[in-house]
Amino acid sequence: MMLLRRCLLLLCVLLTGPCAARGGSSGEEASAIAASLGRGVNFGNILEAPREGDWSRWARDEDIDRVAAAGFATIRLPVRFSNHAETAPPYRLDPNFLAHIDHIVDRALADHLNIIVDFQGYRQIYGEPVEPHESLVEPDRVEDRFVAIWAQLAEHFRDRPKQVLFELLNEPHGRLTPERWNRLLRRALAAVRAQDAGRVVVIGPADANIAQDLVKLDLPDDPALIVTIHDYQPFDFTHQGADWVEHPLPVGVTCCDPAQLARLVLQLDLAAAWGKQHHRPIYLGEFGSIDRADMDSRAMFTRAMRDAAERRGMSWAYWEYDAGFGVYDLEAGQWRKPLKDALLGP
């Protein structure tokens, strides 16, 4: 009977989206929605730049259509909302920017995609040096502003179907120690729940969503949650030559030998065990490899991660669409076939 109910819930989500009243969401529904996320891709380096277009081109309708036509089920949409809100109470979000996000969400829904609206790039909340054009507030107001932004987003999207999910914050780290993050996530989630009691919300642990820190994650008794991790192991392969890494890693590292595969699956095994113990669905929100690595190794890594995640019952989103890790070659105007096949092929 339990298996039948889970199957019915999953079918309901896949066909219609909303499967429960807006007033609440069961843990079983959260698990069904997590399963329905399936295979996804991140729209990275677009909307989490200080200004859209600083790091890549603007998001376009044809990008969303292309992702849907390829066979992906979900777009994870990282957004630097902190750079589009006032710096004084009530920290009002720019309505023109919200309208732009609305258009992207509407297009994804029209293409029968799920979309995860992810708060990303708020460097001040991490206690990191800010970037040019960054909107700043007094340090003691940063967390209040974060919560106020989420209250507005929850109100703005509360009538959207269940295929629209929220992710509270990408990779909390820095000044957001596990203890501080546990307190802040509860405040932000309460702000969301005051507007939308049933929206499924994605939350990850501190220390940049690594699975080892799941043991430090303290979630409230809220059934409508999905827990996310990111897995970029083996890191010396996936980030070789990356100029944003504090101590740049040498290029020329290949993948994947047995030791590398063991590192790759360790994060997934830790997360799967934690999810089973705590009765929480696990979502692999990011994995990928930089274009400094050779394509054969990148394809092998990508397929190994996809297979390992799916064997453990995890939906996933590849990082990312068309930038340095991209599965789509913007200059050539075509998919990078080895990566696309590794993600979506038989």
Domain residues of the chain, as ranges?
A: 24-344
- What pLDDT does residue 24 have? 54
pLDDT score of 3 = 37
Residue 172: both structure tokens together: 């909390």
The model carries a pTM of 0.91
Q: What pLDDT, on the 0 to 100 scale, is given for residue 25? A: 61
CATH for 24-344?
3.20.20.80
Please state, in angstroms and rounded to a whole number, the distance separating the CA atoms of residues 178 and 61. Answer: 38
What is residue 92's predicted lDDT score, i.e. its pLDDT?
A: 97
Rounded Cα gap, residues 305 and 288, in angstroms: 9
List the chain pLDDT tens, one digit each, 346 residues. Answer: 333 333 433 343 334 333 333 445 668 899 999 999 999 999 999 998 888 877 877 789 999 999 999 999 999 999 999 999 999 999 999 999 999 999 999 999 999 999 999 999 999 999 998 888 888 899 999 999 999 999 999 999 999 999 999 999 999 999 999 999 999 999 999 999 999 999 999 999 999 999 999 999 999 999 999 999 999 999 999 999 999 998 999 999 999 999 999 999 999 999 999 999 999 999 999 999 999 999 999 999 999 999 999 999 999 999 999 999 999 999 999 999 999 999 999 9
Biggest CA–CA distance in the chain, Å, is: 56
CA distance 7 to 10: 5
HSE-CB for 100 with a 13 A CA cutoff: 16
**Amino acid code (one letter) for 324:** G
Question: Tokens 């997360």 correspond to what residue?
Answer: 271
Q: Is residue 30 within 8 Å of 7, Cβ to Cβ?
A: no
Cβ atoms 241, 251 nearer than 8 A: yes
Task: Check if the beta carbon of residue 162 is closer than 8 Å to that of residue 224.
Answer: no
The tens digit of pLDDT for each residue in 35-76 reads 999 999 999 999 988 888 778 777 899 999 999 999 999 999
pLDDT reported for residue 7: 44
